[in-house]
Amino acid sequence: MTTMTLGDAGLEAALRDLRVAAPPAVGFGALVDAGLADRYAPIETPLGQAFVAWNGRGVSWIGRADDGAAFEARFRADVGRDIAAADEVPERLGRAIGRRIAGNRRVRIKLDLRGHTTFEVAVWMKALEIPHGEVRPYGWIAAEIGKPKAVRAVGTALAHNPVPLVVPCHRVVRSDGMIGQYSMGGPDAKRRVLSSEGLDTRWLEEEAAAGHRFTGSDTTHIVCNPTCRDARRVTPQHRVTFPSLVAASSAGYRPCLHCRPVSLAA
Amino acid sequence: MDTDVALAKRLAKDLDAAFPVLVDAHQDRLYTIALRLLGDRRDAEEVAQDALVRAFRAMRGYQRERVAALRLRPWLASIAVNLARNRRRRAEDRQPPNQLEPMLDTGFDLPADLRSGPERRADRRETQRELAEALLRLTPAVRTAIVLRHVDGLSVAETAEALGRPEGTIKAQVHRGLRELRITFETPALRPPTTPARARAARLLPALEAIR
């Protein structure tokens, strides 16, 4: 043991000497909690491995990339915040994302959608209402958010969805029923995600090509979007299809209250 | 001090842009305060990070004028001190204090200053370790006063502001703390024991001091 005698000045100097540098995780962690920086980690999705970024305000970004470095570079360029890899997605968040992708719409996932327009956010929140395994046309979203003429803008907003899969922009298809574009890797990726939800995309595209935009039941006289779960319960001998809502209406059919089909501009 | 006044004004003007500057400027001292109060690096990391986040959220809720007028050094210190106090109380609730071994985590396992020779370095680290342990044996009120006044280097007035105590109380607590720390170092027989087996005896030291 050392023997020492400390005078007042010596003791005060020794106390000052107890200052230490904070580990880097302290400052960066504070910035993440404040929503001024993000962390990211890989997640498993129906499209294989993707990356998810989050901060104290919620999930901020989901995307596919060849590796973490490529994801970071895109995040920095698009979002403009600092980002660092985490060992893994926090357990609760990872579980919630898994359940949301598996079709549980009620699981709560906080989203950090700062920097986006209220129109974009309205489009994404509406897409969240589309049930697992069903699709709606762009025009349906436009009508539902009270901007029936903004069909093209809806498409643009969906293409800019920062949190695909969690906000299911893949469930929105072209107004002619064709599958349409997808930011996570084009139409093929979109077909794969929809198939993982149990939707027969080949049937969907064949119906669209045949001009069957709406499906009705001749017993209830209710007309639906073709993928509405009510429409899919109709037995083949009672199923009727319509090229337009006007045609259905003049045949005495009323729109389904669940899927709320809307007239679509050609 | 001047840089803190300028920083408070920047925070009032654009909190998101200026907050990283605050983090850079204050993270080390908040971590040091928490480490010297709690003696555990993991706890200190969490307290320091939490203090910064709470400061951010508080400022987001304040009027601009209030943010601009903040005296950041004592204000941030008070947040860290309160969080450390809550954490210590929770730990004591889980485990009665008479079963707690003294905490020996002094935060110095990093390579020491390479400018000094190996012997001096070892001496210095031994002093730091013993002093950090001695701090943890002070009563919490005296410890916080010493840590803010002499480890962090706040003025008596700033320490009083951070702790919400009168300046006279701070002076008395600092005086008492320095005296107790000095005794620890000047009396080899009363030096802090470093093995858990001798730890319980150490808690009797203040009582022994009092009847001497």
Q: ipTM of this model? A: 0.79
Q: Taking CB atoms and an 8 Å cutoff, what residues of chain B touch A10?
A: none
Which residue from B36, B135, B188 is facing A3, i.e. has the nearest CB? B188
Partner A contacted by B131 (CB < 8 A): yes
The widest CA-to-CA distance across chain B, in whole angstroms, is: 58
What's the sign of the alpha-carbon dihedral B10, B15, B21, B23?
A: positive
Which residue from B28, B45, B182 is facing A19, i.e. has the nearest CB? B28
pLDDT in tens, A200-212: 999 999 998 999 9
What local confidence, expressed as pLDDT, does residue B84 receive? 97
CB contact under 8 A, B153 and A16: yes
For the record, the structure tokens of A259 come out as: 């899927």
pLDDT in tens, A127-184: 999 999 999 999 999 999 999 999 999 999 999 999 999 999 999 999 887 888 898 8
Partner A contacted by B113 (CB < 8 A): no
What local confidence, expressed as pLDDT, does residue A178 receive? 84
A230 by Cβ neighbours in 10 Å (0-12 / 13-18 / 19+) ranks as middle
Averaged confidence pLDDT in chain A: 93
A93 pLDDT above the threshold of 90? yes
Q: Of B61, B52, B10, whose CA–CA distance to A26 is shortest?
A: B52
Contact (CB, 8 A) for A32 and A39: yes
* Domains of chain A, first to last: 29-101 (3.30.160.70), 115-204 (1.10.10.10), 211-266 (3.40.10.10)
Q: Across residues A222-251, what is the average pLDDT?
A: 94
Does the predicted model carry a pTM greater than 0.90? no
All CATH 1.10.10.10 domain ranges in chain B, comma separated: 115-212
CB contact under 8 A, A2 and B131: no
Q: Across residues A213-220, what is the average pLDDT?
A: 94
Nearest-Cα distance to chain A for B89, in Å, is 22
Does domain B1-94 bear CATH number 1.10.1740.10? yes
All CATH 1.10.1740.10 domain ranges in chain B, comma separated: 1-94
What local confidence, expressed as pLDDT, does residue A183 receive? 85
CATH tag, B115-212: 1.10.10.10
Sites in chain B below the pLDDT cut of 50: 98-103, 110-115, 197
What local confidence, expressed as pLDDT, does residue B114 receive? 45
Contact (CB, 8 A) for B185 and B74: no
Q: Taking CB atoms and an 8 Å cutoff, what residues of chain B touch A18?
A: 32, 36, 128, 131-132, 135, 151
Q: Taking CB atoms and an 8 Å cutoff, what residues of chain B touch A26?
A: 27, 30-31, 45, 48-49, 52
